[in-house]
Structure 1
Amino acid sequence: MISLLLFGCFLGLLVLSVPVAISLGLASSVALLYSGKVSSSYIAQGLVTAIDSFPLMAVPFFILAGELMGQGGLSRRLLSVANVFFGRYTGGLAIIAVVTCLFFAAISGSGPATVAAIGGLLLPAMAREGYDKGFSVGLLASAGSIGIIIPPSIPMIIYAVAANVSITQMFLAGVIPGLTIGIALMLVAYFKARKEGYTGSSKRYSASEIFAAVWDAKWALMVPVIILGGIYGGIFTPTESAAVGVIYGFIVGVFVYREIKLKDLYKVIVDASLTSATVIVIVGTATIFGRVLAIERIPFMLADYIVSLTDSRILILLLINLLLIFVGMFMETLAAIIILVPILLPVVVAVGVDPVHF
């Protein structure tokens, strides 16, 4: 009954267009009050303890670093470098979009930040070159989502905290899949552009022009090296690397490229704070939701049921992928991770799947 109440309230609130974070919190509160197993103060305590995490501090730092680097001219210079190398090919702008999203994802750690920074610059350019608007928007949204996989990644940090695995291992595991998806997107963009007749730029760059573009973007190109090199080299933790990214973005944007004025810092910090607050509220309420599930032993019952149906790791992972596709149609990424990890992790661990792979 409590399970029905929990999920019924949550889905009902989503249908009524109540924000995901509020839906999670209200559904959890109703279920806890109905069960009477814990006091109402458990909810307040859970909200605080859920976000009292050192690894979780990386999230607002990476969000702020992404805002600083987007406003500071780093994304524009990355575009210029990509244009020099890929602009002349068929569907040049489409390929440039994917390549630049790969680089910016390795800076910001956020899919939405990548889409906002690159899309704002590339969409008008693609429209001028005659690209179909639907294709352009779809490509940038898809390429921006590489920010979830290419390290550093905010969703990976959230998963690592929820599943109690190493953030550094998660980041290492994301490199090859992220590059693979990027290459696949470039191939799709190329064949689509060839079919639709989207030609590349006729301009050919000399060696001196290529060097000038790369040299101008050197501070932007150094960001992934500093952040990821520092993590994998054991110089600093992922959380500390996010703080380093903020300092680096501030220095480059304000003092090197000088595209961020001191008066602009207020807007940058406000935008980053609003995004961070949304993430933190979702983390808090989704954690309460997960604890209610644990109290009612729903994850363990589900794990036993699925394992009783099949012990094939491949089949179980395929079924989970189908579930994630469905959930992803209506639920925000971070909320889905925090809700589903406590439910599904026991299932995959029971059949021998590595939590990092999962």
Structure 2
Amino acid sequence: MEVSALILVVTFFVLLALNVPISFSIGIATLATMLYSIDFVPAITTVAQRMAGGLNSFALLAIPFFVLSGLIMGQGGIARRLIECAMALIGMLPGGLALVNVLSCTLFGGISGSAVAATSAIGSFMIPEMEKKGYERNFAAAVTATAATTGMIIPPSNILIIYAIASGGVSISALFIAGYLPGLLVALALMLVCVVYAKKHNFPTEPVLPLKTVVTKVAAAIPSLLLIIIVIGGIVAGVFTATEAGVIAVLYSMFLSIVLYKEVRVRQLPDILLKSVGITAIVMFLIASSSAMSWILSYENIPQAITDTMLALSENPLLILLIINLILIVVGAFMDMTPAVLIFTPIFLPVAESIGVSPIHFGIMMVLNLSIGLCSPPVGSVLFVSCSVAKTSIEKIIKPMIPLYFAMIAVLMLVTFIPAISEWLPQAMGLMK
């Protein structure tokens, strides 16, 4: 087992260092590990079978539908209406535009399920607007990057669906509901930092709008916000599955963008569909190759060996969870969320369950942890998008982002060591066994 694990790890990281795409790195490392034990033909056949089997899941159909609905929303005027709603509600508070940025990213991320989409859609408007009103451009970019990650925790979230598959069948409905409180806590923590930062730097506030204007702006955003109620309410009530909810999300976002708001033309749909196919293909290939790696990990008994090693170091659950968090924070800084979840869930979930941590609690902790990696150098995709939108560099954005990082890590520690934050809602709704 030791030799197999060494071959797997060394091959994987050498390929990554050579800039081989991560999905190919995973697949080649898996094949190389198998070749140590068996001949080439059965090894490559097994890899192919495991890759195909990893995609043979009805729940995975939800991903292309949520990807498509997110792309339609990004072009359908939904982001602008959410920003105007947030502006009307909290723009007059200290650091008003920064708070509007956080709330808008949270709402749009929760509707679209994409941190990158939230960064692009909200950031393209809010970053120039904040700069125009006297905010530092780098601070505006930092707020957008960190706030956009809430879309990974607040449902509908593709990464929670992927975790459900990787964990061996954890309830998607329970995961979706469990993500609400942690996601809102992250948003509130970021808002608190924004208020303190704004007061320290004397950033301006927005004027109080007349009640009629506030009502108008909020009413304009209600159709968009209804998507959350329709999708999550339908899943929890058992009206439809998460996959069927994805179809509902596509149909509803098309209705909003094409019929109600009239900001997407029918002739634009082929381009949107083509883009969604490209994104889905990348995600599915990652899932397929990671499924093969998960199988070889299990076949070589690597997760059990890691569990035994960690329990030998300490039987203190708090210390073990802290170690897992530290490892995942490092992983998140160098690896995208999807492969990280697919690779490390089979490794760390048995450890967590052995110390009494539920799969729901661990899943939210893991996704929240890896969300920090989305806005962390050197490979944070959201960080790069935010810098691109703001026309700034990573070096300049890091300093104003440090207090925002600390806020996210503080919430991560709360979620890690207080299971009720992620478990209370699904338990109250009878979604946890």
Bin the TM-score by the shorter chain: over 0.9
Please, which of 44, 58, 76 is the counterpart of residue 62 of structure 2?
58
**Counterpart position of 1:138:** 142
Runs (5+) with no aligned partner, structure 2: 363-433
Partner secondary structure for residue 130 of structure 1:
coil
**Counterpart position of 2:13:** 11
**Counterpart position of 1:333:** 337
Q: For 1:264 and 1:198, locate their aligned partners in 2 and report how far apart those are by CA, in whole Å.
A: 40
| CA displacement, residues 97-149 of structure 1 (integer Å, 9 cap, x when unaligned) | 11111111221122222222211221221222232222122211111111111
The aligned amino acid for 1:224 is I
Within 5 A, what are the aligned runs for 1:122-271? 122-163=126-167, 164-201=169-206, 203-271=207-275
Greater CA deviation, 103-112 or 320-329? 103-112
Q: For 1:278 and 1:123, locate their aligned partners in 2 and report how far apart those are by CA, in whole Å.
A: 29
| CA displacement, residues 31-70 of structure 1 (integer Å, 9 cap, x when unaligned) | 2223217431111112211111111111111111111111
**Counterpart position of 2:280:** 276
Work out whether residues 113 and 155 of structure 2, in 8 Å CA contact, stay in contact via their aligned partners in 1. yes
Kindly state the Cα deviation for residue 264 of structure 1 after the two structures are TM-superposed.
1.4
**Counterpart position of 1:102:** 106
Count, aligned residues? 357
Runs (5+) with no aligned partner, structure 1: none
Q: CA RMSD in A?
A: 1.3
**Counterpart position of 2:32:** 30
Partner secondary structure for residue 199 of structure 1:
coil
Kindly state the Cα deviation for residue 87 of structure 1 after the two structures are TM-superposed.
1.4
| CA displacement, residues 142-182 of structure 1 (integer Å, 9 cap, x when unaligned) | 11111111111111111111112101111111111111111
Identity %: 38
Work out whether residues 89 and 199 of structure 1, in 8 Å CA contact, stay in contact via their aligned partners in 2. no
TM-score (norm 1): 0.96
Greater CA deviation, 157-166 or 122-131? 122-131
**Counterpart position of 1:39:** 43
Kindly state the Cα deviation for residue 273 of structure 1 after the two structures are TM-superposed.
1.7
The aligned amino acid for 2:21 is P
Please, which of 299, 303, 319 is the counterpart of residue 299 of structure 1?
303
Partner secondary structure for residue 334 of structure 2:
coil
The aligned amino acid for 2:342 is I
TM-score (norm 2): 0.80
Work out whether residues 72 and 257 of structure 1, in 8 Å CA contact, stay in contact via their aligned partners in 2. yes
**Counterpart position of 2:4:** 2
Q: For 1:321 and 1:266, locate their aligned partners in 2 and report how far apart those are by CA, in whole Å.
A: 42
Work out whether residues 134 and 204 of structure 2, in 8 Å CA contact, stay in contact via their aligned partners in 1. no
